[in-house]
Amino acid sequence: MRMTLRLRFIACVAAAALVLGLGVHADAPFVYAIKGARVVTVTSSPISNGTVVIRNGLIDAVGADVQPPADAVVIDGAGLTVYPGLIDMGSSVGLDIQVPAQQPQTVRSTDEAERWKRSVVLRADVNAADHVKLDAPELSRLATSGIITVLATPPGVLIKGQSALVNVTTPEVEPSVGAIATPRSGVSVVRAPVALHVEFQNPRGDVYPASLLGAIAFVRQSFIDAQYQQLLEQRYQKSPAGMLRPPFDPALEAMQPALAARLPVAFEAGLEREVLRALRMAKEFKLDPIITGAHEADLAAADLKAQNARVIYSLNFPTRPRTLAPDADEPARELRLRAHVSKAPASLEKAGIVFAFSSGGLSDTHDFLRNVAKAVKDGLADDAAVRALTINAARIAGAADRLGSIEKGKMANLVVADGDLFADRTKIKNVFIDGRQVDLEALGDGAPRGRGRGAGPGAR
């Protein structure tokens, strides 16, 4: 009997020790110190010879007089520059969302056909955070260009859905007792939803409307319908007796925060007239506007300022079509736009418009920094370009309290380069996402690179 009790006691002690061991292992912080580097904090003056300490996913300390803690993995920052992780404010990379263009064979009536068409162009209830493929290699490879966070934007036309701010890779989470089946997506998603996205573009296939005027009318009518839906629900909640219960419409319900100006509405608008059209609609429905694409947004700077509109500027610069013969003429408007796009960011900065950059449509994501460098060459100040890639992007996304600058307490999303971010031969040397060092070599697509190629991550 005593032997049995003794064995049970030993087993309990061993089990407790195992649990404690697992707990300590699970809670063990990831501690790094990048020592002696140039630190571009963004919100204050750069530190020429500083140290950044990362602990448990956050920036624990930053400054010229900071000393690496005893438990830190020290990275020699001599000759290196530390930037906040770059934010791409518009990409569908890594999203598992299908937008059908052909009517299903199962549709049997006109009523069903109309409902299906509406569902393709009115998708306000689609939230990108629910459709991120966390292990998508095309998403994680963005880290090799210094892009740490993206605004995942649902594909489609007209009312496309709601975007989410997500990190490009999901760190391996250590197992912890009492946290069973925790959703991994919660680790990558920084903020959701960020904005409701609208694009005035004619759908393809069997979907209406078939003209630009029809597309504008549909979007406008959808906001009116959402207003009416809100009114019906308010009346029903106040006095339901004698009233039919309003039918639940998830798309119209999802538009309510936008109508209350709690959720910004991001209008895809490239040309000046498109920007003005979007601003008029925003004013009509008292929306909080963001202009995306925006290649001629600077021409409407006064209107943007009047409505406190922010801009997400597309780095998918127009180029001469490869199929065009060398001696073939092009429309003058196309030539003017190509000459204008790299100069517009400087004009936006001069006008005091808060803007960020997006890669949407780029076939080579390494053109992201290359095209920012073109804007710098054409008049955009280096520090303004860095702000657009970091703190401005975080502010537009409503996440400046967590991202966009190197400050104590913020997420440790960092990029370490061997020079100026926009110099031709600068290489990305290290990347940290949520305080974890990313193995850039393992991401594929060759070696890690900024605007050139470089060596893999690791302590120096």
Report the b/e string of 7-30 with b at 16+ CB within 10 A.
eeeeeeeeeeeeeeeeeeeeeeeb
Q: Name the strand (E) or helix (H) holding 196.
A: strand 196-199
Q: What's the pLDDT score for residue 169?
A: 87
Q: What's the pLDDT score for residue 261?
A: 96
Q: What's the pLDDT score for residue 21?
A: 36
CA end-to-end span of the chain = 60
Q: What's the pLDDT score for residue 22?
A: 35
Domains of the chain, by residue range, sit at 85-403
- Cα–Cα distance list, 377 to 114, 170, 342 (Å): 50, 35, 8
d(CA 62, CA 404): 15
Q: What's the pLDDT score for residue 363?
A: 82
Q: pTM of the full predicted structure?
A: 0.86
Block means of pLDDT (10 residues each) for the chain, 460 residues, are 48 43 44 97 96 96 96 96 97 85 71 78 94 86 93 93 93 55 65 96 72 92 95 87 84 96 97 97 98 97 97 93 83 89 97 96 87 96 98 98 97 96 92 92 53 37
Topology at the third CATH level for domain 85-403: TIM Barrel (3.20.20)
d(CA 275, CA 197): 14
Q: What's the pLDDT score for residue 117?
A: 82
- Cα–Cα distance list, 367 to 124, 316, 398, 449 (Å): 31, 8, 26, 12
436 three-class SS: strand
Q: What's the pLDDT score for residue 286?
A: 97
